[in-house]
Amino acid sequence: MPKDILCSRRPHGKVRVMALAGVLPYIQIGLSVLLIACVLLQQTGASVGGAFGGDNFSAAYHTRRGSELFLFRATIVVAVLFALSALLALFVR
């Protein structure tokens, strides 16, 4: 979709789209670093044996509480924001 069609309704729309296109890569870099940090900070109860087929049923079923629940929800929010910014980058170009 050409940029002229996106910005034809507002007289200054072209400037806004160009400004967003200039800032969007930095937003995506920040969101990606934040997403990596959120994923790495989450603790898993599974041991190394669970990765190779070992049975560890006690680690599979537990309730998230406190900071673990906050980190889980923050990871979901950051992942959705990153996906939306990637979709937006497709339309801005």
| Residue 38 binned pLDDT confidence (cut-offs 50, 70, 90) | very high
| Average confidence score pLDDT of the chain | 78
> What confidence score (pLDDT) does residue 18 get?
77
What is the token pair recorded at 8? 């034809």
Q: Which long-range contacts (CB under 8 A, 24 or more apart) does 81-84 make?
A: 81/31, 82/28, 82/31, 82/32, 82/35
Residue 35 in this model has a pLDDT that exceeds 80: yes
Residue 53 lies in a domain: no
- Please give the share of the chain, as a percent, with pLDDT higher than 70: 65
Give the number of other Cβ atoms within 10 Å of residue 30's Cβ.
13
Alpha-carbon distance of 59 to 28, in angstroms, equals 33
- Please give the share of the chain, as a percent, with pLDDT higher than 90: 44
Residue 24 lies in a domain: yes
* Cβ(75)–Cβ(38) below 8 Å: yes
Structural domain count, the chain: 1
Residue 75 lies in a domain: yes
Q: What residue numbers bound the domain in which 17 lies?
A: 3-40+63-92
Residue 88 in this model has a pLDDT that exceeds 90: yes
